[in-house]
Amino acid sequence: GAGVSQSPSNKVTEKGKDVELRCDPISGHTALYWYRQSLGQGLEFLIYFQGNSAPDKSGLPSDRFSAERTGGSVSTLTIQRTQQEDSAVYLCASSFRRDRGTDTQYFGPGTRLTVL
Amino acid sequence: GNSVTQMEGPVTLSEEAFLTINCTYTATGYPSLFWYVQYPGEGLQLLLKATKADDKGSNKGFEATYRKETTSFHLEKGSVQVSDSAVYFCALPTSGTYKYIFGTGTRLKVLA
């Protein structure tokens, strides 16, 4: 079946512009994660959605970052007034969330964001 | 809180060499432990996992044993291939949440 998809695959923007990154999770997966992968760094957790519950936003680095998930499926990560330090690969993952802490996450290919 | 420390790379090996990538953790209780792999140009994918202490996860010739005595989950493979060239990430969930902590990744390059 189809995996997690993300769009665009690459995004180049100018400092100060807003960007939207999209994630389509695997059908039926109730949990959705956003991560940021900077060069030479591990994955940095950004936000977690589970069904209709309030999202865990504890990883968002500033109030310029926001995310929503519509209808329990597609998610959009928005970065307002982008800065050069926002340049990174943004990864989306989804899972069934059967049991706390044992789920396998399925990752999308990522969106490479470059802020000039 | 929970944390993970992964050996730094890059690791360069010749084909058929033995591979070890170290991963140690600190955690409350005994959380599941994971290894994910990112092949060039692809997204991360689960390589193997162990859900309780003393378990061994295995896949594609790779193995890792959940050792609570040494709080380690080292990744091993007896004979690497060029196709194993990738970045490997150790991961575990944070205590009491659905968030996961990933190591910084270890890049493996296997030469023919």
- Within 8 A of B32 by CB-CB distance, chain A residues are 101-102
B24-47: average pLDDT: 92
- Which of A17, A26, A15, A16 minimizes the C-alpha distance to A6? A26
Q: Which of A50, A97, A102 sits opposite B32 (nearest CB)?
A: A102
List the single range of B35-44, B89-98, B102-111 with lowest mean pLDDT.
B89-98
In this structure, how many other beta carbons lie within 10 angstroms of the beta carbon of residue A30?
A: 18
- B82 within 8 A of B16, measured Cβ to Cβ: no
- Alpha carbon of B59: minimum distance to chain A alpha carbons (Å): 14
Question: Chain A window 44-103: which residues touch B at a Cβ cutoff of 8 Å?
Answer: 45, 48, 50, 56, 58-59, 91, 93, 97, 100-103
Phi and psi, residue A86, nearest 5°: -80, -10
In this structure, how many other beta carbons lie within 10 angstroms of the beta carbon of residue B31?
A: 23
pLDDT at A52: 81
- CA-CA distance, B17 to B62, in Å (whole number)? 13
Average pLDDT of adjacent 10-residue blocks, chain A of 116 residues: 90 97 93 90 89 88 94 92 96 82 88 96
pLDDT at A7: 96
Q: Which of A33, A102, A108 sits opposite B43 (nearest CB)?
A: A108
Q: What is the mean pLDDT of chain B?
A: 93
Rounded to 5°, the CA angle B60-B66-B70 comes to 135
Bridge pairing between strands B86-93 and B106-111: antiparallel
- Answer whether residue B36 shows pLDDT above 60: yes
